[in-house]
Structures are given as structure tokens and as C-alpha cells.
Amino acid sequence: MDETMKKKILFLPFLAFALWYTSCACTSCAAQINGALKGNGQADLQIRTALEPRMTALITGFAAASGAAQPGALLLDGPAIAASLSAAPGVASASFKNTSPAAIEGPVKIAQISEFLAPGKAQFITFEQKASGGQCTITLSRDTSPEILALISPEVSDYLSALMAPIVTGETLTGAQYLMAIGSVYGRGIADEIEKATIRASIEFPGSVQSAKGGTVSGKRANYAIPLLDILVLEDPISYEVVWR
């Protein structure tokens, strides 16, 4: 597999992860994030993600078209993804292993959640802890998302541009319009996988959660089921806020 295509494939499962809490970018994946945010802004997360069958076939086809397809090759290279993430702002360490050629899992330690992918105006996570409680807010829009993606890897922006994702192109599309465009180019099966893909996250906070905008509350935990389509299209800016005491 040529190096450019390999890098693009490596970062596919990482967009949703990088763009929600510490986020995982893939255009059609099943993703689960479990973890805890501490009062000092550090976080420990456990990530699991896997490409869906049709997206796996599409990526395999890309590799075959490049003449670099190899039997048993990793579509998601866990150690390589971990190495890239470990170098990102605000990250203390990351370690992923492959549970299959198209699935990875492992821990990520965040040194400071407010600094994650946060130099300059690209900051999209705010965190505050006081004696009486605290709050964490994540905001994402088409204005800031290209800068955030560039901090992860220029290659992922290129790949998502090929998939016409408004999060990269800045184009104003509804979810339905985007799915129609994807279906016309890559087939309805790929569009269906993107439409059904969900990022599930369950995060424990330093105190009893009082509210979780866009999610549900269970004691110290906020739970989310986020449609990947919402992140890729960003028809409207997305904002999630958790308040605890």
C-alpha cells in the first residue's frame, strides 16, 4: 500500500473520536468511548472502533486500485494511529491494538482536556472546575473543523474531501443531501452505513452530573449516542455541555 493511501486509511476511524471528546475519525464505523474526566482536567479513556462491512470493502478496493493490496493487511493500524495521537496537543499517551484488521481498541490518557487540539482559535473544548462544581463544553462548526482536522493529520482532510464531507469542504448541505451525494458516487450501501453509524460515549465526571446537553445523566456519568452524520455534515454547529457539582 502506498504511503499516502496508508496514512489516509489509518486516520479513518479517528475523526469521530477526535471531534467529540477526544474524538475517532471514520466515515462509517461503530465506536464506543468509555472513560473518566478528573477535576484537574486530565482524562482516561478506553476506545473501541471498527469499520463497518461496506466501508471495509470500499477501503480494500482503494488499496487494490493502487496495486498495493496485500492479504491480511491492516485497514486500521492500531499502533500507528496511537503514535500519531500521542503527538497531538493535550495527549499524554495512547496505545491501540488490533482486534481484527478493521478494528482497534485501547486506552488514551489526556494530559489536559482544554488543550486537546487547542492551539490558537481551533480550541473547541472548554473545561472549568471550581469548589462548587464544574462544566465542560464541546463546540464544533464548519468554521473551526478544518483547523482541528489539520492538527490531527492533513491526510484525513484530503480523504474526507474525497468523500465530500462538509466538515472539510465547508459546503452547506443537509444530511439528506449529503447522503444522496455519497450514494450517487459510492453506492447506497455506503450511504446507509454512514446514516446508521453512531458514536456512543459514557464519561464519568468529577461530581454528580446536573445536566448533559444532548445526552442523558446517570449519577456522575453523562451518556451520549451521537449520529456520525451530524458530525460529518455540521448542518448546524454542534454543542455539548455537561455541568456537575
pLDDT, tens only, 166-183:
888 888 899 999 999 999
Which H, E and C letters describe 132-173, residue by residue?
CEEEEEEEECCCCHHHHHHHHCHHHHHHHHHCCCHHHHCCCC
Q: Enter the DSSP assignment of 84.
A: H
pLDDT for 24 equals 38
pLDDT by residue (tens digit) across 97-120?
A: 999 887 889 999 999 988 887 766
Cell numbers placing 42? 486530565
Task: Decide if 228 contacts 29 (C-beta within 8 A).
Answer: yes
Is residue 30 within 8 A of residue 197, CB to CB? The reply is yes
Question: In whole angstroms, what is the distance from residue 222 CA to residue 24 CA?
Answer: 18
Domain boundaries, the chain: 3-244
Q: Cα–Cα–Cα angle for 41, 30, 239, nearest 5°?
A: 45
pLDDT digit string, tens, across residues 42-65: 999 999 888 777 777 776 776 566
Residue 191, number of CB atoms within 10 A of its CB:
21
